[in-house]
Amino acid sequence: MKDNSQLDCYGHLFPDLLKNRGGTTEGHAFRCVIGKTCAFGSPTLAVEVKDDEWEACTKCPRFDACYKLSLGKLELQKALLDRN
């Protein structure tokens, strides 16, 4: 059996923003929806919380470490996207 640090969800609370810049991108507890636009408009953006998954995450004994890892990955993704 896997321990909590080996769970498939560990470190994946937020969507991987580098994988998809359109449509829906999902993390374990959050989802980003990037809508299509008309010719000159900005895309519609929405961040959604997956309530049941978030509740399960907060009850996990490794939540603090997982959250910190997830935030670190998100910050690195943002830095890479800002370079483009």
Residue 71: is its pLDDT beyond 60? yes
pLDDT, one tens digit per residue, over 73-84 is: 999 999 998 886
Average confidence (pLDDT) over 49-69: 96
Q: Over the chain, what is the mean pLDDT?
A: 86
What residue type is 30 in one-letter code?
F
Check if the beta carbon of residue 26 is closer than 8 Å to that of residue 15. Answer: yes
Per-domain residue ranges of the chain: 4-83
d(CA 42, CA 27): 23
Structure tokens, 10: 């560990």
Rounded (5°) CA angle 34-36-37:
120
pLDDT, one tens digit per residue, over 20-53 is: 777 889 999 999 988 876 667 777 888 999 999 9
